[in-house]
A and B are shown apart, each in its own frame.
Chain A
Amino acid sequence: MENSQLLSYLLLIPIVGSLLILFFKEEQANLIKYFGFGVSVVIFIVSMIVYFGFDSTTSDFQFKHQILWIENLNISYFVGIDGISLLLVVLTTFITPLTLVSSWSSIKKNIKMFTFFMLLLEAGMIGVFISLDLFLFYIFWEAMLIPMYFIIGVWGGERRIYASIKFFIYTMFGSLLMLVAIIWLAIYASEPLGRFTTNLLELYTVGPDIPHKIQIWMFFAFLLSFSIKVPLFPFHTWLPDAHVQAPTAGSVILAAVLLKMGTYGIIRFCLPLFPQSAVEFAPAISVLAVIGIIYGALVAMVQKDMKKLVAYSSVSHLGFVVLGIFAMTTESLQGAVIQMVNHGLSTGALFLLVGIIYERTHNREIAYYGGIAKLVPWFAFALLFSSLSSIGLPGLNGFIGEFLILLGSFQSTVLDSWWFVIFAATGVIFAAVYMLWMYERVVFGKVTNVKLEDELSDLNLREKLVLLPIFVFIVWIGVYPSTFLSLTEVSTNGILEFVSTHTINLIK
């Protein structure tokens, strides 16, 4: 599948779709809803065509499409995917239509611009996952902030301006350092390569030979940018604010896809471009990851706001992903990749559910609720199911990721200590504590607040249909993860082999 243009369609369709939306009139709200949803479904179908055309037996990039862009600097529009990017692209195209449908009732004002930004956001996210040119990657990485900024800032909660600006500036701050590193890297590489270029595949051949002192700086510039996005402890404080203030669709996209751009960036850039630094600092970064797991869980436990609780649980879950990446075993990295998807599904579902109930009561306080199992049994079931997925119950998706990450990290020669896993595994206990405690206070018990009886109504058909596909995949990944693991195995192995051939003398 050389030089296929399919991936470019994945970018073009949402961009063109979003532009077309501008031609609608604001009064045509329903038309805009259906049109936006239709576009996102078409994108999903195209991504499925890519999926079925993908060859998972090779770690080479596929569906490559390259057009020279800035000739003097050898910067090109260059896209292509391997198994890891494909999985995340499909996650994006899968989640977007669901979030669009979920907002049909919750977004009341300016649905036109909302849909416009959502489609633009989708293009940006896909772009991040398929770029094979650092310059292009950087553009998507930054461009994507803009629609998200507006989604939080316009359709968010009371403190939306504070949250959106914090989100924007914090992320931007990290990205600028990455930009410096990108330029530095390209300049440095222009000597061995004989020309200046931001082509990732060419830079891969140079990165490992960069002298230690310089490589460390570049590594940390990239890593900082990604760590803020993940977010890795202690760079996480923008997340609860952004999550809580964002509208439901924004929170879902933020959790399901945006955070994954950070971990994806680490896998795609930090590991293969700077393998020696990655191995050298793996234990230190893993310490932060493990702190994040426990810290995120403990802070989640004492939250009074449901959305904030789920937000902090993300800090904990993403800690697992980072640990899995830096343990650098096939098991742990495979676990990390599948856990990126898992977190998207389970946390996405949790945000949807919190959004659904917020839409009815306009209250996210845990204390406001109690005993709602009687009033909204379907909701109670859906919340239980998503919670169980989130706390890693075997048979559901979360377990596969956490198990592989911990199993792999346990025998990691890079980390070379049991303690990482022993501490990380306590996160599994705390996850049960904060999720079940919230569940107990919200769903179980007696109906203490009589207002709820009027306010609450159970899931309607549209809401059930939004949740159903997510639940199908939660079970699918839990029972038969091979569908997804086999997609990425060769790619993750390729990266790990690349790293290990360049760091043989570093690993015991």
Chain B
Amino acid sequence: MIDLIYLTILFPLIGFLVNGIVGSKIKNEKIIGVIGAGAVGLSFLVSLAALFELIALPEADRSQVITLFTWIKVAGLEVHFAYLVDQLSIVMALIVTGVGFLIHVYSIGYMHGDKGFWKFFAYLNLFIFAMMNLILGDNFLVLFLGWEGVGLCSYLLIGFWYDKDFEKGTVPQAAKKAFIVNRIGDFGFLLGIFLIYMTFGTLNFLDVFAQAETSQVTETTFTFIALFLFIGATGKSAQIPLFVWLPDAMAGPTPVSALIHAATMVTAGVYMVARTSIIFASAPAILMVVAVVGLLTAFFAATIGLVQTDIKKVLAYSTVSQLGYMFLAAGVGAFSAAIFHVMTHAFFKALLFLGAGSVIHSMHDDQDIRNYGGLRKYMPATFATFLIASFAISGLPGLSGFFSKDEILWYSYANGNMFFWVIGALTAVMTAFYMFRLVSLTFFGEERFGKDQHPHESPKVMTIPLIILGVLSVIGGYIGIPEIFSGEHGNVFHNWLLPIFSAAETKLAHTAQHTHTEELILMASSVGAALIAMYLAYYIYTKNRSIADNTASKLKAFYNLLLNKYFIDEVYDATVVNPIKNVSDKFLWKITDAGIIDGIVNGSASIIENISGTVRKLQTGVAQFYAVIMMAGIAVILFWVIISL
């Protein structure tokens, strides 16, 4: 099946083409849904088979390139449509197709009755197609193809309900913002690709990495490459300073938020940094930037998440925050921990979004958690799975999020420093708090929704994916149990990915020895604090909301700052967007182009016209005048001839 890995890309493409071309003619939603979900399901099965085949192979053979055909060949540049199957790409492929499949199935229920049902599934399949190119591509250019491709699908799907308003603007504005902010990141990514080609003479991963490991490329070059690539990552994975598009991306249908803006696409930046770990490891300064940006993003996004009132907005900021964790992990050189968190986060965050979708569905598209309350008895399956996912993301021991988040926190201290750990742990506490604020306001306490609302559980086609994701959120962590608990087997997940990251880890050479006692103390304190935060949130928002209201009014300025997301959008508008618009309109177009440049062009024409107009007056049409001039001319010539004799 490794040789047939391109099938994982082909099936979604076929699904896209079928639903895209004839979908509008198919009246039966089930057929469309089965084609869409089936294509992704088949891709998942192929990926799974490839995984088993990979496991059966000796470790040295677990990296295979499947080449289809040449894409671009000019001078020294030779890029193929070729796919790299190895330990890292297969994990990502399974996450994308597995979680993707569940979300496709869920969407059959969620999108039921929508006029664009066929279009929705076509776009979703196109997304999976692009995403698989992104993670399986064996070179930077195919990765970039997928990278921009998922951006396009994100644009199309955010803008799916293109005639609706969204917050202060409209849905299409949110879609456009996502695409453009991503393009700013892609600008950096492209420069990185150019510099890679200039330095290594190739864009193939394996060739570039082999050279990066051994050759005498200067650290300055590596620094620039890593910096450019990381700019790309901040766009796609919504990190400071380019995170602003992700909260707005919530304008899209909720399954889209789950699939693209939580579980898969936004983790592409993490994947890219992990894939190019050797380059980042060769640029320690940028690796530090990655860690700090990740940490700050995690922290600030979590603070915003504390006060949001839109159920999807809370989850959106939570996603930004969790992505920050992943970069923190990568930044301290714990690449496999980053990927591990990509996986567990895909499970529980997809589940949270789908659960939120189930609630929104039941509340007739009301997304304000202040209008919810007490929903647990109306939607037991949604409630139970949502609760599990909330425990998982909050790091309740034993659940998937605990293992991955704890690993990141540990490495942020072991490979980093105490400051990283403290901020990281604070973020974990805030995560626990805002999640249980959300759970309490939605499922517990008094029913605050109107009499016209009749909450009900979603159909099975939606709850079964929830339950499966719930199971994964519980057990998904056990393949990555840290050494401290698993003993001699070590961390299975870590060991599986080790061949991918060993070169980078060797280069970084984190030699500082830390004891298991240290690890246990740190773990216990962060978990303990998170548990307290969970209970506190539950207590405040279920039993005694006045505490929250009082705090908010006491810290009014700070509360408003958070509620308005630190006014980042306003700052960007004032400092970047509006100046560019105004300068382009008033100065470049109206003054420079129409005024100066075209003025010179038309001006020189009219100067000639004026001169001609003046000279024209000589042509009086009076023959006598011409005769006089002629005589005068002859006289002058004669005079001149005589003189020169």
Q: Closest approach, in angstroms, between the C-beta of A158 and any C-beta of chain B? A: 17
Task: State which of A418, A433, A479, A485 has its C-beta within 8 Å of the C-beta of B74.
Answer: A485
Q: Which residues of A contact B588 (CB under 8 A)?
A: 295, 298-299, 302
How does the 8 Å CB contact mask read for A396-439 relative to B, with 1 for contact and 0 for none? 00011001101100110000001001100110110011001100
Q: Scan residues 234-268 of chain A and give those whose CB is less than 8 A from a CB of chain B.
A: 234, 236-238
CA distance A425 to B585 in the complex (A): 21
How does the 8 Å CB contact mask read for B526-539 relative to A, with 1 for contact and 0 for none? 00000000000000
Q: Scan residues 147-192 of chain B and give those whose CB is less than 8 A from a CB of chain A.
A: 147-149, 152, 155, 159, 162-163, 170-173, 175-176, 179-180, 183-184, 186-187, 190-191
Closest chain B residue to A240, Cβ basis = B593
B496: interface (CB < 8 Å): no
Q: Which residues of A contact B70 (CB under 8 A)?
A: 482
A489 adjacent to B159 (CB under 8 Å): no
Task: State which of B152, B585, B593 has its C-beta within 8 Å of the C-beta of A237.
Answer: B593
Residue ranges of B at the interface with A (Cβ–Cβ < 8 Å): 69-75, 77, 141, 144-145, 147-149, 152, 155, 159, 162-163, 170-173, 175-176, 179-180, 183-184, 186-187, 190-191, 193-195, 197-198, 580-581, 583-585, 588-589, 592-593, 597-598, 601-602, 605
From B71, B75, B184, residue with most partner A Cβ within 10 Å: B75
Task: State which of A410, A425, A429, A440 has its C-beta within 8 Å of the C-beta of B176.
Answer: A440
Q: Which residues of B contact A237 (CB under 8 A)?
A: 593, 597-598, 601
CA distance A406 to B228 in the complex (A): 15
B584 adjacent to A394 (CB under 8 Å): no
From B74, B173, B186, B580, residue with most partner A Cβ within 10 Å: B74
A489 adjacent to B163 (CB under 8 Å): no
Q: Which residues of A contact B176 (CB under 8 A)?
A: 436-437, 440
Q: Scan residues 367-412 of chain A and give those whose CB is less than 8 A from a CB of chain B.
A: 371, 373-374, 388, 393-395, 399-400, 403-404, 406-407, 410-411
Pick the interface stretch among A2-10, A49-57, A328-336, A342-350.
A328-336
Q: Which residues of B contact A170 (CB under 8 A)?
A: 601
**Given A298-B588, A299-B588, A428-B190, A485 and B163 touching (CB < 8 A)?**
no
Q: Which residues of A contact B74 (CB under 8 A)?
A: 330-331, 334-335, 404, 485, 489
CA distance A101 to B159 in the complex (A): 34
**Given A234-B597, A302-B589, A433-B180, A421 and B159 touching (CB < 8 A)?**
no
B580 adjacent to A298 (CB under 8 Å): yes
A446: interface (CB < 8 Å): yes
B184 adjacent to A429 (CB under 8 Å): yes
CA distance A373 to B605 in the complex (A): 44
Q: Which residues of B contact A234 (CB under 8 A)?
A: 597
Q: Which residues of A contact B184 (CB under 8 A)?
A: 429
* Across the A-B interface, the 6 shortest Cβ-Cβ residue pairs: A444-B172, A330-B75, A302-B585, A410-B194, A298-B584, A394-B145
| 25 sampled A-B residue pairs with Cβ under 8 A | A166-B602, A170-B601, A295-B588, A302-B589, A331-B75, A334-B74, A373-B162, A388-B152, A394-B147, A399-B148, A403-B141, A403-B190, A407-B193, A410-B197, A411-B194, A422-B191, A425-B191, A436-B179, A440-B173, A440-B176, A444-B172, A445-B162, A479-B71, A480-B71, A481-B71
A238 adjacent to B601 (CB under 8 Å): yes
Task: State which of B145, B147, B198 has its C-beta within 8 Å of the C-beta of A410.
Answer: B198
Q: Which residues of A contact B186 (CB under 8 A)?
A: 428
Residue ranges of A at the interface with B (Cβ–Cβ < 8 Å): 166, 169-170, 234, 236-238, 295, 298-299, 301-303, 329-331, 334-335, 371, 373-374, 388, 393-395, 399-400, 403-404, 406-407, 410-411, 418, 421-422, 425-426, 428-429, 432-433, 436-437, 440, 443-446, 479-482, 485-486, 489
Q: Closest approach, in angstroms, between the C-beta of B531 and any C-beta of chain A? A: 45
A407 adjacent to B585 (CB under 8 Å): no
B72 adjacent to A432 (CB under 8 Å): no
Task: State which of B152, B172, B194 has its C-beta within 8 Å of the C-beta of A440.
Answer: B172
A425 adjacent to B584 (CB under 8 Å): no
Q: Which residues of A contact B77 (CB under 8 A)?
A: 331, 404, 407
Q: Which residues of B contact A411 (CB under 8 A)?
A: 194, 197-198
A428 adjacent to B198 (CB under 8 Å): no
Q: Which residues of B contact A388 (CB under 8 A)?
A: 152
CA distance A429 to B173 in the complex (A): 16
Closest chain B residue to A329, Cβ basis = B75
**Given A440-B173, A482-B73, A169 and B605 touching (CB < 8 A)?**
yes
Q: Which residues of A contact B144 (CB under 8 A)?
A: 394
Q: Which residues of A contact B69 (CB under 8 A)?
A: 480
CA distance A433 to B516 in the complex (A): 53
From B69, B71, B147, residue with most partner A Cβ within 10 Å: B71
B72 adjacent to A429 (CB under 8 Å): no
Q: Which residues of B contact A482 (CB under 8 A)?
A: 70, 72-73
Task: State which of B163, B194, B580 has its C-beta within 8 Å of the C-beta of A445.
Answer: B163
From B77, B172, B597, residue with most partner A Cβ within 10 Å: B172
B589 adjacent to A299 (CB under 8 Å): yes
B187 adjacent to A302 (CB under 8 Å): no
Known pairs A410-B198, A429-B183. 15 more at Cβ < 8 A? Answer: A166-B602, A169-B605, A295-B592, A301-B581, A330-B75, A371-B162, A374-B163, A393-B149, A394-B148, A421-B191, A422-B191, A426-B187, A443-B162, A444-B162, A445-B170
A432 adjacent to B180 (CB under 8 Å): yes
A428 adjacent to B187 (CB under 8 Å): yes
Closest chain B residue to A489, Cβ basis = B74
Q: Closest approach, in angstroms, between the C-beta of B458 and any C-beta of chain A? A: 29
Closest chain B residue to A169, Cβ basis = B605
CA distance A367 to B145 in the complex (A): 33
Q: Closest approach, in angstroms, between the C-beta of A37 and any C-beta of chain B? A: 28
CA distance A303 to B585 in the complex (A): 8
Task: State which of B187, B593, B597 has its C-beta within 8 Å of the C-beta of A425.
Answer: B187
Q: Closest approach, in angstroms, between the C-beta of A411 and any C-beta of chain B? A: 5
CA distance A124 to B198 in the complex (A): 42
Q: Which residues of A contact B149 (CB under 8 A)?
A: 393-395
Q: Which residues of B contact A406 (CB under 8 A)?
A: 190, 194
A436 adjacent to B180 (CB under 8 Å): yes
From A166, A299, A334, residue with most partner B Cβ within 10 Å: A299
CA distance A356 to B562 in the complex (A): 49
Q: Which residues of A contact B194 (CB under 8 A)?
A: 406-407, 410-411, 421
A404 adjacent to B145 (CB under 8 Å): no
Q: Closest approach, in angstroms, between the C-beta of B534 and any C-beta of chain A? A: 42
CA distance A329 to B77 in the complex (A): 12
CA distance A482 to B81 in the complex (A): 13
A301 adjacent to B584 (CB under 8 Å): yes
CA distance A102 to B45 in the complex (A): 48
Q: Closest approach, in angstroms, between the C-beta of B645 and any C-beta of chain A? A: 35
CA distance A432 to B197 in the complex (A): 25
Q: Which residues of A contact B170 (CB under 8 A)?
A: 444-445
CA distance A236 to B588 in the complex (A): 14
Q: Which residues of B contact A329 (CB under 8 A)?
A: 75
B605 adjacent to A302 (CB under 8 Å): no
Closest chain A residue to B119, Cβ basis = A377
Task: State which of B155, B179, B584 has its C-beta within 8 Å of the C-beta of A302.
Answer: B584
Q: Which residues of B contact A421 (CB under 8 A)?
A: 191, 194
Q: Which residues of A contact B193 (CB under 8 A)?
A: 407
Q: Which residues of B contact A331 (CB under 8 A)?
A: 74-75, 77
CA distance A395 to B155 in the complex (A): 16
From A374, A394, A399, A482, residue with most partner B Cβ within 10 Å: A394
CA distance A234 to B598 in the complex (A): 9
CA distance A410 to B77 in the complex (A): 13
